[in-house]
Amino acid sequence: MATQTRTRVRRPARYKVLLHNDDYTPMEFVVSLLETIFGKGPAAATQIMLQIHRGGLGVAGVYVQEIAETKVTAVHQLAEKRGYPLRAGVEKE
Ligand code: TYC
């Protein structure tokens, strides 16, 4: 009888995209980023933005690494274009 090799399925690690609070980025800009880059609806986007505004940090979304890093780049590009100091980063879940 043939030897059977069982290979376990590994789910890809997931990464949180974190947004940081600052004093200069307008609230509406953060809400629009959460809608356009992270696919949140207006209510969820507003909630996340306020959580960041009050708590200093918040999770915009959770993705596999490459997608998470692409989202961070998109945030930085849009913020830079407008001259806002918005910071974003990824953290392994
Ligand atoms: N604190 C900003 C303000 O009062 C709003 C803000 C929210 C900025 C979330 C960044 O990630 C952020 N305009």
Question: Domain ranges in the chain?
Answer: 23-92
| Confidence band of 8 (pLDDT split at 50, 70, 90) | confident
Predicted pLDDT of residue 4: 66
Beta carbons within 8 Å of 83's beta carbon, 6+ residues apart: none
Among residues 36, 54, 34, the alpha carbon closest in space to that of 45 is found at 34
Domain 23-92, CATH number (from 3.30.1330.40, 3.20.20.10, 1.10.357.10, 3.30.1390.10): 3.30.1390.10
Please give the model's pTM, rounded to 2 decimal places.
Answer: 0.91
Task: Check residue 83 and give left, alpha or beta (phi > 0: left; psi -120 to 50: alpha).
Answer: left
Task: Give the mean model confidence (pLDDT) for residues 60-85.
Answer: 98
For residue 80, what is the enclosing H or E element?
helix 65-82
Ligand 1 atom index nearest CA of 25 = 8
Residue-wise pLDDT tens digits, 38-58: 999 999 999 999 999 999 999
- Whole-number average pLDDT of the chain: 95
Percent of the chain surpassing pLDDT 70: 96
Among residues 91, 93, 89, the alpha carbon closest in space to that of 19 is found at 89
Q: List pocket residues of ligand 1, CB cut-off 6 Å.
A: 19-23, 25-27, 30, 49, 52-53, 86
